[in-house]
Amino acid sequence: MCTGDYSVTHSLMFQNELVELFADAGFPADQPADGFRGTLKEKVNLYTTNPPRTKFDQAQGKIDEVKMVLIDNIEAVVKRHGQIEITLDETESLKVIDQGLFCLH
């Protein structure tokens, strides 16, 4: 949580959550709060290893999901188009062969 690449947003979220938890637990600000150490340790571990996602993070995740679906759909359309082109080419070849056979009769 103290490295330069750690998100400031996550750091602020961490601090805000600790303030709320500390106040809700009723610990006096001017005395040691030994009973809060477990909560503090748990939250430091959580925010270091797997910080909660902000609304922006959630929106970015949704955008990334939609982008991947669009890419998959475009790839499927391109593949389908290629298959249609092959089918059309084969159909044209069959027409030419069929016309050639018709002329031979």
Domain enclosing residue 92, as ranges: 54-105
43 and 2 housed in the same domain: yes
- pLDDT tens-place string over residues 6-44: 888 888 899 999 999 999 999 888 888 889 999 999 999
State whether 2 and 47 are in the same domain: yes
Calpha distance 80→105 (Å, rounded): 38
User: DSSP letter at 39?
Assistant: H
pTM of the model: 0.51
What are the C-alpha distances in Å from 81 to residues 56, 74, 77, 85, 96? 37, 10, 6, 6, 23
**How do residues 60-85 score in pLDDT, each as one tens digit?**
999 999 999 999 999 999 999 889 88
pLDDT in tens, 82-105: 898 888 888 888 777 767 666 655
Say whether both 41 and 86 belong to one domain.
no
**Do 6 and 33 belong to one domain?**
yes
